Structures are given as structure tokens and as C-alpha cells.
Amino acid sequence: MSAGEPLARLEGIVKRYRAAVDERPALQEVDLTIRKGEFVAIMGPSGSGKSTLMNILGCLDVPSAGRYFLDGRDTSRLSPDALARLRNRTIGFVFQGFNLLKRMNAVDNVALPLLYAGLSLTERRRRARELLERMGLGRFAESLPNQMSGGQQQRIAIARALVNDPQLLLADEPTGNLDTQTSASIMALLTELNRSHGITIVLVTHEPDIAAYARRMVRFLDGRIVQDTSQPSASTHEPELIMRSSA
């Protein structure tokens, strides 16, 4: 699928964490446009601003200067409630440490983001269960996180990120805690979500092997973009059919 219209657009984004004028900002005048259907890897050494960028893209933090447009909306003009709704509807998050709630089974973890959609508990669980089935994870529905392997937990966490049908998936080192083979299977799933389901993905990684799955690589250094290249060959892996389309 070719990339479409802008989904997330950063214009002149500056992020300062401290008031001191001589403190170098974590992001310095960053301009970045992520288009619908893209799969972007964000790389760069520790401290280069990758997490700060992801927090801003995810509307978890606000820039000190510059503008952030998400799905055509200027996020600085939205009330906190409107911003939370836009985030909930548009973005799914996947983390290195999976971040599943330990006392909840897979169904209830996956159903969590539906809490704000005004659905009954029965309906939330029905949707979560249906998504787990489509992702081939139905057998884990009643399992608690500590009864699953790391790779299985990350699949459940990806299901949770998808349950609201987001356009944008933000993944912060999603394979950082996984072995090579499990990492490859998680990347195959993300590749399929991007190619077959049109989900836009922004992924932070330290590993060139993982970045190679993306079709565009953006490298940060000292809070600035120092490289932005497309990788037409991307990964040569044929996406297996891991997730069935809904209905």
C-alpha cells in the first residue's frame, strides 16, 4: 500500500524539560510527517529524544513550542478531554515491558481500552474475545499474564492496542525483552498489521535487524533528525496470515 495523507504532523517541535535557558532541549525544532499506511522505525542513541518524540506523538506529553496535528486536528487547541478522546480513538500503544495488568486475564486486559467507549462489560468482553480469536490467541483468553511467555504477553498487549481500531500504533522497543525468534514473530505480526490491515506504525528500536522491517527509518541525534530514509526492500519476509480480517 502506498502512503497516504498525513496522519501525524509535527511542525517545529521543541521540548524542554527544565526552565534553564542553557539546557539543551530534548527535541529541537523537529519537523516530521507520518503518512497513513507508513511503517517508520525511529533509531538513535540513548538520550537522543526518541521517547520524548513518542510521548508527544502519543499525546502523553505536550511540546514546549511548535504544533502537532493528529488526524488533521491541531492538538494544542483541544481540551484535555477532547485530546484524551482523540488519543483513545486514534492511537494504540505497545511497550517493551508489555504492561499488562497482572491480576486480569487476557480478555480483561484487552477489553481495558474499551472502558471509555460507553459499552457494557459483556460487550467489552465479547469484542476482546473476538479479537483474541481473530489473532489466534483464543486459547489464552482466561490466562493471567504470568501464565504466558513473553512473546504471548506481547501478542496480548498488541491485541489490547488494537481493540479500539486505532489508525496509529506506537511501539516503544516492543521486542526489547524478547529472544531473536520471538522478536521475529512479533515483527511478522506488526508487518501484517501494516501491510494487510493498513495500520500506520511508528516503532522505536535500537536494533538494525528490527528497524529493517520498517519501510522508513528516521534517526535522531541530540534532539534532531539527522537521517530520514525510505527502505524500499524493507523486510523480505512474506507476511504469514496471522490475523483474520473482521467480518
Residues making contact with ligand ADP (CB under 6 A): 17, 26, 44, 46-52
Identify which of residues 47 and 198 has a Cβ nearer to ligand ADP in the complex: 47
Identify which of residues 43 and 91 has a Cβ nearer to ligand ADP in the complex: 43
CB of 25 to ligand ADP, least distance (A): 8
CB of 172 to ligand ADP, least distance (A): 8
The C-alpha cell at 185 is 514473530
How many angstroms separate the CA atoms of 114 and 124, rounded? Answer: 6
How many angstroms separate the CA atoms of 193 and 204, rounded? Answer: 17
**What are the beta bridge partners of residue 92?**
169
CB of 44 to ligand ADP, least distance (A): 6
Identify which of residues 48 and 164 has a Cβ nearer to ligand ADP in the complex: 48
The C-alpha cell at 196 is 494487510
Residue type, 35: R
Identify which of residues 44 and 63 has a Cβ nearer to ligand ADP in the complex: 44
CB of 50 to ligand ADP, least distance (A): 3
Instruction: Let me know if 17 is exposed, middle or buried by CB neighbors in 10 A (0-12, 13-18, 19+).
Output: exposed
Identify which of residues 138 and 176 has a Cβ nearer to ligand ADP in the complex: 176
Phi, psi of 184 (to 5 degrees): -60, -40
CB of 171 to ligand ADP, least distance (A): 13
How many angstroms separate the CA atoms of 107 and 113, rounded? Answer: 11
CB of 42 to ligand ADP, least distance (A): 8
Contacts 24+ apart (CB under 8 A), 191-195: 191/39, 191/235, 191/237, 191/239, 192/239, 192/240, 192/241, 192/242, 192/243, 193/158, 193/162, 193/169, 193/243, 194/37, 194/39, 195/1, 195/239
Identify which of residues 26 and 214 has a Cβ nearer to ligand ADP in the complex: 26
